[in-house]
Structure 1
Amino acid sequence: MPTPQQPVMEIERERKLIQLSKKLGYEFQDLNFLQRALTHRSAGSKNNERLEFLGDSLVNFMVADVLFHQFTKLAEGDMSRIRAHLVKGDTLAIIGKEYDLSDYLILGPGELKSGGYRRESIIADSVEAIIAAVYEDGGLDACRAMVMRLYQKRLENLDPKKMGKDPKTRLQEFLQSRNQSLPEYSIISVNGAAHAQEFTVCCYVEMLNTKFEASASSRRKAEQKAAEIALDEIESRNI
């Protein structure tokens, strides 16, 4: 038997679903698809895992299709690298945050308590599930239009030479293209307890006769940050 509170909760949930639908730029014929896409497995058996599976394939296909037609001179390897970057979890999570998906996720008590609405993997999975929900609700053309909206800015500003390449790789390729010595990385210090260490590294670029320092939670991340700083310096000098 329904409690007096249930209708109010249902009305509020529908209001939020309509609000998100407007943000996404797609009007669902059946809001149940969107609700399922936002429902994490911790909230029950009727969750978004199957939609996520379908959405993963759809976004891979549609991004590949755009790259194939938009960049007609790109080699297969470059298209694969760029697509991998555009559809990876980190990118999907950023897209989800742009639409404030954390405010709409439906999580079980345990995930709510542990801050699951902030977890990037959950946000990324929800983006894939939403893409599939649009496909199920409106068909292939509606789904394609949704993916293009989600990726519009990224596709417009896409630089094939940089996309998907980490800063260390880009710095190395830049120096090699000018027959310059490769950067030298060294650890300056390691601080903190074993479970929360901070690495500070130096990246020496002989071409600039400059050392670039950066700190992060791992040596690899610190080296990437130092390489990024070096690249920014190279760009600022218009080298």
Structure 2
Amino acid sequence: MNTTLLEQHLVYRFTDTGLLAKALRHSSYVNEQADPAMEDNERLEFLGDAALSLCIGHLLMARFPELSEGDLSQTRAGLVNAGWLADIGRSMNLGEYVLLGKGEEQTNGRNKDSILANAVEALLGAIYLDGGFDAVMAVVRHKFENDIEALAALDMNRNYKSLLQELTQATDGKAPTYEIIDETGPDHDKTFHCRVSAGDIQAEGSGKNKKTAQQDAAHKALALIKGEPLP
């Protein structure tokens, strides 16, 4: 398998290509092979999850010096989730490179959030072992810093989704619903468009990931409810 384009997306070239190969092997593929020594990517995924959490924590602390530990933890948890990581994987066409078993192939496994998210974490674990912390930090900064900046642009001191939910549940007892209605732009620089329905109010927002699109839609719905100009 030619992984040159994948390495270009990562802006990282592996010294030990065996680590890259392991990061792309899903357990369903390994279970169908005759080689008992072949390893899947789950141990690398475990390591990558820890490395990613540390890198994102470092970036958030540098970008938001005013946030408390609780706010930083909440923000990191909102970023480091399967949906967000899967979107990062799609931006690299990662599904084309993951090795899957026949069952996963037949059930569209190459586009499953869980498989893509786990493969992203496995890649980060492989980069950590191949190049050390500075290498994995450089990749995380390259792939994820735009999402952090998008959150900053939405005023991180206010969680519009939480505010909207509190308001609508107090008035009609129902939580708002969110729907991604469109995705525009190239795979490496997508913009997500979201519609929120809150009682009789509907509003649309956009962002560089699903979370920020939802926050933008909630922000606009709050403005409509309060009779304020749209942000």
Structure 1-normalised TM-score? 0.69
- Match among 143, 150, 154 for residue 157 of structure 1: 150
2:49 counterpart residue number:
56
Corresponding letter in the other structure for 1:48 = N
Q: Tell me, yes or no, if the aligned pair for 1:185 and 1:202 is still in contact at 8 Å.
A: no
Quote the offset at 1:90 in angstroms: 1.2
1:142 counterpart residue number:
135
Corresponding letter in the other structure for 1:114 = T
Q: State the alpha-carbon separation in 2 of the partners of residues 30 and 82 from structure 1.
A: 34
- Match among 201, 222, 227 for residue 212 of structure 1: 201
Q: CA RMSD in A?
A: 3.2
- Match among 16, 19, 33 for residue 30 of structure 1: 16
Q: State the alpha-carbon separation in 2 of the partners of residues 99 and 88 from structure 1.
A: 17
Q: Tell me, yes or no, if the aligned pair for 2:23 and 2:41 is still in contact at 8 Å.
A: yes
Quote the offset at 1:203 in angstroms: 3.3
Once the two structures are superposed, residues 22-48 of structure 1 have per-residue CA deviations (whole angstroms, 9 ceiling, x without a partner) of 121101112221111111001115110
SS in 2 for 1:158: helix
Does residue 24 of structure 2 align to residue 42 of structure 1?
no
Query: Structure 2 stretches of 5 or more lacking a match?
Result: 31-37, 176-195, 204-213
Moved over 6 A (4+): none
* Cα pair distance change 1:121/1:236, threshold 3 Å: farther
Q: State the alpha-carbon separation in 2 of the partners of residues 166 and 107 from structure 1.
A: 39
Corresponding letter in the other structure for 1:27 = R
Equivalence map 1:53-132=2 (5 Å): 53-132=46-125
- Match among 160, 173, 198 for residue 203 of structure 1: 198
SS in 2 for 1:77: helix
Quote the offset at 1:212 in angstroms: 2.2
2:126 counterpart residue number:
133
Quote the offset at 1:236 in angstroms: 7.8
SS in 2 for 1:157: helix
Computing the radius of gyration from Cα coordinates, the structure with the larger value is: 1
Q: Tell me, yes or no, if the aligned pair for 2:223 and 2:230 is still in contact at 8 Å.
A: no
Corresponding letter in the other structure for 2:229 = R
Quote the offset at 1:81 in angstroms: 0.7
Q: Tell me, yes or no, if the aligned pair for 1:172 and 1:183 is still in contact at 8 Å.
A: no
* Cα pair distance change 1:202/1:113, threshold 3 Å: closer
2:229 counterpart residue number:
237
Q: Tell me, yes or no, if the aligned pair for 1:183 and 1:203 is still in contact at 8 Å.
A: no
Equivalenced residues, count = 190
Query: Structure 1 stretches of 5 or more lacking a match?
Result: 1-12, 188-200, 205-210, 215-223
Structure 2-normalised TM-score? 0.71
Quote the offset at 1:106 in angstroms: 0.6
Quote the offset at 1:85 in angstroms: 0.9
Between the aligned residues of both structures, percent identity stands at 36
1:184 counterpart residue number:
172
Q: Tell me, yes or no, if the aligned pair for 1:96 and 1:127 is still in contact at 8 Å.
A: yes
* Cα pair distance change 1:164/1:111, threshold 3 Å: farther
